[in-house]
Amino acid sequence: MKIAVIGGGSTYTPELLGGFIREEKALGLAELWLVDVDARRLDMVGGFCQRMARAAGARFAVRLASERAAALDGAAFVLTQIRVGGQEGRHRDIQLGLRHGLIGQETTGVGGCAKALRTIPVLLSLSDEMRARCPEAWLINFTNPSGLVTEALLRYGHPRTIGLCNIPITMQLEIAARLGVEPARVQLDYVGLNHLGWVRRVLVDGQDVLPGMIEHLLGAGRPANLPEELDFPPEFLRALGMIPNSYLHYYYATRRALEELRAAPRDRAQEVMEIEGELLAHYADLRQDTPPAALARRGGAHYSTAALHLMCAIHGDRAERQVVNVAAGGAVPGLDPRSVVEIGCAVDRHGAHPLPVEPLPPEIRGLLQHVKAYEELTVEAAVRRSRRHAILALSAHPLVADAALAVTLADEIAAEHSLDWLRREEP
């Protein structure tokens, strides 16, 4: 088997490589291609990965390329983990939001919109090339904003696309650890969008333990998968009766989240740039062939676990249940079947098949549909290069929700990222 990683110069890649080393036999992996437009990073990260694979006794070849063609030819899986504009672009998005009293996180609100507008065209170009070079390959998208990008790819690009996020599997592992059971015994009734999801039931050997677990977690001080500094009021969590994805603190505690972003001496992009400096220095050291401890501070925990579980389930036709990003296909009442959701799926050689869920209660339905409308408009803006759709998308997002501000934000995104089409008014 041949697998291509687009964005192979990412500092995440050694963590992903560890997964390939563990599962090379299950996949029958022969070639792993790392592709990146940044030749310097590819040399450092790719060279380290080659040493790491040799030290581990891996039998597959790790190949490096600055062009996609050779990597895509005959590939069975293509993983995308690109960052258009780099961490500097992420920093500008965060600061753009803060200038206007908004959260500019890279998957949420104005930051997510800005990142999607410059990322979707690049990945649609990749999907065009895949149609010519590896039409049967599965595209596994980890590029943020993952659900939104996956929706663009499924609507306008490669039909064999599945979006991936490490949050659901992290929640499963953390919940299993808290309960003291093996992760395989835990099944989450998880529904939502990427970075906007809820665990409605926690099944251990088929029995729902969520109500008692919420009480236990509140007694321990905070619920699972929420940052220590952002616990929600116990009365709210009892009323909700679900475990929210950690990114929901941007919606459920907006003022507090914004205050903390403003008070921080550095934003997340600046923190990551510093961490990446350490990581790249380690990767460039020809004496090193094991990942450094600093990789744990980079984020993306369990990325390789999620990615390898998905690929092994497809390749091995395992019919496993996993939470991934796919078109709803009628599984979520009240949503367009084409809308991409993050949901439990049965994964086999034919892909990921969404499992039907109960109707969404109003306490989550409204927010989910609100953000989904924003996502649909953002996809149209990126695909059509439409200023009109970008303004409508920004004004529709619940963390912006201001028409005049949406126009200003569109202008500033265009200026920050040289998106000339976003400056042009439409007839």
pLDDT, tens digit, for every residue of 94-145? Answer: 999 999 999 999 999 999 999 999 999 999 999 999 999 999 999 999 999 9
Whether 220 shows a pLDDT value over 80: the answer reads no
Contact assessment for residue 341 and residue 326, using Cβ atoms and an 8 Å cutoff: yes
Distance, in Å, from the CA atom of 157 to the CA atom of 335, rounded to the nearest integer, reads 21
The pLDDT, as a whole number, for residue 172 is: 93
192 closest CA partner among 299, 103, 323, 351: 323
Would you place residue 374 in the very low, low, confident or very high pLDDT band (cuts 50, 70, 90)?
Answer: very high
pTM listed for this prediction = 0.95
The pLDDT, as a whole number, for residue 229 is: 37
Give, in order, the Cα–Cα distances in Å from 291 to each of 188, 376, 423. Answer: 31, 39, 44
Q: What is the mean pLDDT of the chain?
A: 95
3-state helix, strand, coil in the chain (%, to 5): 55, 15, 30
Q: 12 catalytic, yes or no?
A: no
Would you place residue 176 in the very low, low, confident or very high pLDDT band (cuts 50, 70, 90)?
Answer: very high
Which positions ≥6 away from 39 have C-beta within 8 Å?
66
pLDDT, tens digit, for every residue of 64-85? Answer: 999 999 999 999 999 999 999 9
Give, in order, the Cα–Cα distances in Å from 30 to each of 59, 222, 342, 388, 422. Answer: 7, 45, 31, 47, 43
Distance, in Å, from the CA atom of 86 to the CA atom of 170, rounded to the nearest integer, reads 25
Which positions ≥6 away from 53 have C-beta within 8 Å?
17, 21, 32, 60, 62
Structural domains of the chain, with CATH? 2-164 (3.40.50.720)
The pLDDT, as a whole number, for residue 221 is: 54
Residue with tokens 């990615």: 307
Instruction: Give the max Cα distance, the chain.
Output: 61
Instruction: Count CB-CB contacts under 10 A for residue 66.
Output: 14
Beta bridge partners of 161: 139
The pLDDT, as a whole number, for residue 228 is: 46
Question: Mean pLDDT over residues 227-247, rounded?
Answer: 80
Query: Of 190, 247, 251, 374, which is the active-site residue?
Result: 247
